[in-house]
Amino acid sequence: MRLQLLDTVLAIARLEPDASVPAWASLDAPLTAIARTASEVSIVCADGNVPAHVRCERGWRALVVEGPLALTLTGVLAALATPLAAAGVVIFALSTFDTDYLLVRETELEQAIAALRAAGHELSV
């Protein structure tokens, strides 16, 4: 597969399930994702947007699979997650209608890129 590295450093924030989506979760980054469940609201957005008092994990980078991908495809995330897991790289996966995103910690980015390339994937960084 072909992947591209997004330039923006991201954060993954967690809010209480009844929280409103805050203004800092704006859509000005190349990737913003908001998911609400019965137990939480998770927000992926530009790291610099998240206030210091908000529970979050900072310093993530996104690798995007070049798409669009058909919703009937199988094994896309598995093909990417397997070599990363073997290399000990933690991932946070997101999917959209058109494609998949893998977030990796910035401190593990080089290791992730090397593992994906060794598995035969092409990366534009």
Give the residue extent of every domain in the chain.
2-124
DSSP state of 21: P
What letters, b where the CB count within 10 A reaches 16 and e where it falls short, cover 91-120? Answer: bbebeeeeebbbbbbeebbeebbebbeeee
- 52-96 pLDDT, tens digit per residue, is 999 999 999 999 997 876 777 677 899 999 999 999 999 999 999
The identity of residue 37, as a single letter, is T
Confidence at 43, pLDDT banded by 50, 70, 90: very high
Residue 21 has pLDDT above 80, yes or no: yes
What is the average pLDDT score of the chain?
93
User: For residue 23, what pLDDT is reported?
Assistant: 93
Domain 2-124 listed as CATH 3.90.75.20 = no
User: For residue 51, what pLDDT is reported?
Assistant: 96
Neighbour count for residue 84 (Cβ, 10 Å): 21
pTM above 0.75, yes or no: yes
Query: What is the rounded CA–CA span in Å between residue 50 and residue 55?
Result: 9
Query: What is the rounded CA–CA span in Å between residue 116 and residue 90?
Result: 13
- Residue 31: closest CA among 2, 67, 62: 62
Mean pLDDT, rounded, for 98-104: 94
